[in-house]
Amino acid sequence: MTTSVPFLDLDAAYLELRPEIDAAVGEVLASGRYLLGAQTEAFETEFAAACSAAHCVTVGSGCDALELSLTALGVGPGDEVVVPAHTFIATWLAVSRCGARPVPVEPSPGSYLVDLEAVEAAITPRTAAILAVHLYGEVADLTALRRVADRHGLALVEDAAQSTGARGRDGAVVGSGSTAAAFSFYPGKNLGALGDGGAVVTDDDELARRVRLLRNYGSVAKYAHEVRGTNSRLDEIQAAVLRSKLPLLDAWNARRSAIAALYLDRLEEATGVRVPPHDQGDSAWHLFVIRCDDRTTLQGELTRHGVETLVHYPTPVHLSPAYADHGYRPGSFPRAERLADEVLSLPIGPHLALPTAELVAELVAELAAQH
């Protein structure tokens, strides 16, 4: 290829909305209020509506959103939380930071999402919650997971960090089908800030109240601390930027879907790669993740041709040094381990031109067939 293809073009997202974003940031700077002000309040109202939920509580990151959701639900030492074995480490870290133990389960065969039978089998008398991850933008089967959770009296929390704007098989928007949903506004997400940020979305009045307490030192009134909280607040500038971007979320997700449809069409029958599953509803297509017979060679060749790719994620969480004390060994979760060896994320984003995506797809098919 004659030009380089970045994995994600964040500059283009800013340039498309530059007048709106610059004006919004300027308004915050002129206000003299930089935390928990009018922009945060307005964004929380708007994002709750976008998720068909009663409440949105913004926090400092997606990982904080998960942790504070679990803490507000009373999850703590001695408890277990069922988590996917194939996910980003933040899913597990949030559980660990509550003092609970993450209990991993395998993805279902041919999928990136959890095996429902494995979820049921992992539940013990110590289980307090199921943490459902909508990985890569694909929506977990919340209807089935809700049945499991209700049958065992468990909370169902969505890790929706990669699925903002996605819908499940039943047409329900992510964030509306669980006890609570945790979102990330990291810059590379479908709805990204200019720094870190996150949110908890819920219909539970008391849960929302507790998360508001926890995010601000356990206080809703200055120096009146009801619980032992933390400092996890979305600042006003980030809230203003997110308000500028939120009206374009559906349109940007539609652009991602168009690229994904092109990739699926061109790579469905390609030799040496397998396209991602795409029958779980209306994916947000945060990532387009293929599986490769020879990932190392294919990624190297794509790099040589100017196409940037990433691996999400090269080391299974259960085999990372951070969780060495949990006693897992190679072979503990073979499906997750195989995915870690095979997955490769292709460029996708709302500002990737379709002709460029076409060239990427053709190159992937050509190179994969050679190895």
- What pLDDT does 177 receive? 81
Q: What is the dihedral of CA 131, 201, 203, 126, to 10 degrees?
A: 20
* Contact of 162 with 284, CB cutoff 8 Å: yes
Residue 280's pLDDT band (cuts 50, 70, 90): low
Q: Residue 176's closest CA among 49, 41, 44?
A: 49
pLDDT tens column, 90-100: 999 999 999 99
348 token code pair = 């996708």
Q: What is the DSSP letter of 114?
A: B
Tokens 């964004």, residue located: 43
Specify the pairing of strand 127-133 against strand 80-84: parallel
Hey, where are the domains in the chain? 10-247, 248-369
Region 322-338 average pLDDT: 98
What global pTM score does this model have? Answer: 0.96
- What pLDDT does 194 receive? 97
pLDDT tens column, 15-51: 999 999 999 999 999 999 999 999 999 999 999 999 9
- What pLDDT does 2 receive? 53
The arrangement of secondary structure in 248-369, i.e. its CATH architecture, is Alpha-Beta Complex (3.90)
Q: What percent of the chain has pLDDT over 90?
A: 95
* Contact of 198 with 242, CB cutoff 8 Å: no
Cβ neighbours of residue 72 under 8 Å, at least 6 residues apart?
A: 180, 200, 207, 210, 211, 214
Cβ neighbours of residue 132 under 8 Å, at least 6 residues apart?
A: 114, 140, 142, 145, 156, 157, 158, 159, 178
3-state secondary structure of 104: strand
| Pick among 3.90.960.10, 3.60.20.10, 3.40.640.10, 3.30.479.30: CATH of 10-247 | 3.40.640.10
Q: Which neighbouring-strand residues pair with 318? A: none
Domains 10-247 and 248-369 share a fold: no
Tokens 């199921």, residue located: 130
- How high does pLDDT run on average in the chain? 96
pLDDT at residue 1 greater than cutoff 60: no
